[in-house]
Amino acid sequence: MPNTGWDEFEIGAMLRTFDGGIDDIAGTLQEDRPYSQNSSFSASVADWRIEKPVFNKDYCIDCQFCWIYCPDISIISRDKKMIGIDMDHCKGCAICVEVCPTNPKSLLMFPEKADEEVEIANWPAKETKEK
Amino acid sequence: MSELKKIKNLKEFSTSADRFEGANLLCPGCAHSIIVREVLNATNDDLVLSASTGCLEVCTAVYPYTSWDASWIHIGFENGSTAVAGAEAMYKALKNKGRLKQPDRNPKFVSFAGDGASYDIGFQWISGCMERGHNIMHVVLDNEVYANTGGQRSSSTPIGSSATTSPAGRVSYGEKQNKKDMVSIMASHGIPYSAQVAPNKWKDMVKKIQHGMEVDGPVFINAVSPCTTEWKFDPKDTMLLTDLSTDSLVFPLYEIIDGHELNITYRPKNVVPVEEYLAAQGRFKHLFKDEYKYLIKEWQERVDANWAYLNRREEARV
């Protein structure tokens, strides 16, 4: 489907977001939706990133600031818990890291090629304020 | 369906199923999609959406992809609001004739437009929609510049800002005209609700959006949307810039009910000097040269005067 050129369709052809219908879209989470190849959900912008966010669950307080301020719907929150980052859609803007209120931050930016497990093992310690 | 979505806190809000998808082509750190998400997640009802030409439109509907999981239309630069108003008029007509297939559904009609498509090009069309009293909401994503075409000035661009058609240099300090007060202009139509919102104050924003969707009649929302490319700051600082804009009172958050009842909805505890807001952006860099420093003082005076004006209006209820 992505290989079909715009001029190869019949006039009036419809490209649909979903394969099949959804009655209650606002009550259907993304993993339950039958996305078609025409939804940008099926695409990826992962190659835009220079740095990637790494999520350390140990320090997360589930405040959801990262969820609300993520411009790319890349923070996955289910049942009021932050469970991970959608690396297909993250563009690496680092807003989530900036708004994270914990000390040390539970989200930090690392180079794209960094190993997640190594970085989590070497997570920076709590910062103490100088008086 | 159609009852108000209960959003008490952010944890509750985070259970929303987004109807705006990632892998759109907006710049990293763009505030547009933060605003769009907050608007769409404020309701569980069906949505009929439109987007006027602008960053949001060109980045979310690139062949063969769409980022919208709701009915969405794009026609021209100027008439996004009118397209949605037409859909709303048709919905009303079919409802009156009893020809709706699912009459219990209560769709909301929302049009998104940038400041170019609202302050300049779409101005008379929006004015028409407001005057005719359609039950629609018009949301302006106000980034104060034509960001999509390379940063030309719009009538929302504030004084001193360097844009490609009003560049700062040896003979000029950039944009010379002040920003149009669009919220007041729209409120003067006597519409039931118009408000200014910012994405960092999500609770205030969701409250205003929900109120706007509930009232019967046209609603105008002006949302500040910092643009990393044209305001020239680091993508990670989008929320910092939004905080600075609301806390320095450059973008005061208020609402106007029925065209006269003004309420200020956010009073910052610590008001930040406007200088900090200007210093955080590359487009105002030249104002910190000695010959243009007087403009910063004028900025502060203008912002203070506007804040005093809003306070007087709130007190007088006119």
pLDDT in tens, B57-116: 999 998 889 999 999 999 989 999 999 999 999 999 999 999 998 888 889 999 999 999
Class of the domain covering A44-112? alpha beta
pLDDT in tens, A4-39: 787 888 888 888 899 988 888 888 999 999 999 889
Question: Is residue B128 a part of any domain in this protein?
Answer: yes
Tell me phi and psi for residue B84, to 5 degrees: -70, -35
Looking up residue B144, the CATH number of its domain turns out to be 3.40.50.970
Distance CA B255, CA B252 (A): 10
Structural domain of residue B141, as residue ranges? Answer: 10-316
Across the interface, whether the CB atoms of A70 and B34 are under 8 A apart is answered yes
Question: Is residue B181 a part of any domain in this protein?
Answer: yes
> With a cut of 0.90, is the ipTM above it?
yes
Q: Which of residues 53-92 of A touch B (CB under 8 A)?
A: 62-65, 67-74, 77-80, 82, 86, 88-92
Distance CA B221, CA B193 (A): 8
Which residue of chain A comes nearest to B69, CA vs CA? A17
Distance CA B164, CA B151 (A): 6
Number of domains in chain B: 1
pLDDT in tens, B191-204: 999 999 999 999 99
What is the SS3 assignment for A84? strand
* Helix/strand/coil percent split, chain B, to 5: 40, 15, 45
Question: Is residue B2 a part of any domain in this protein?
Answer: no
In this prediction, residue B113 carries a pLDDT of 95
Contacts of A27 in chain B (CB under 8 A): 17, 44
All structural domains of chain A with their residue ranges: 9-43, 44-112
Report the predicted TM-score, pTM, of the whole model to 2 decimal places. Answer: 0.94
Contacts of B202 in chain A (CB under 8 A): 68
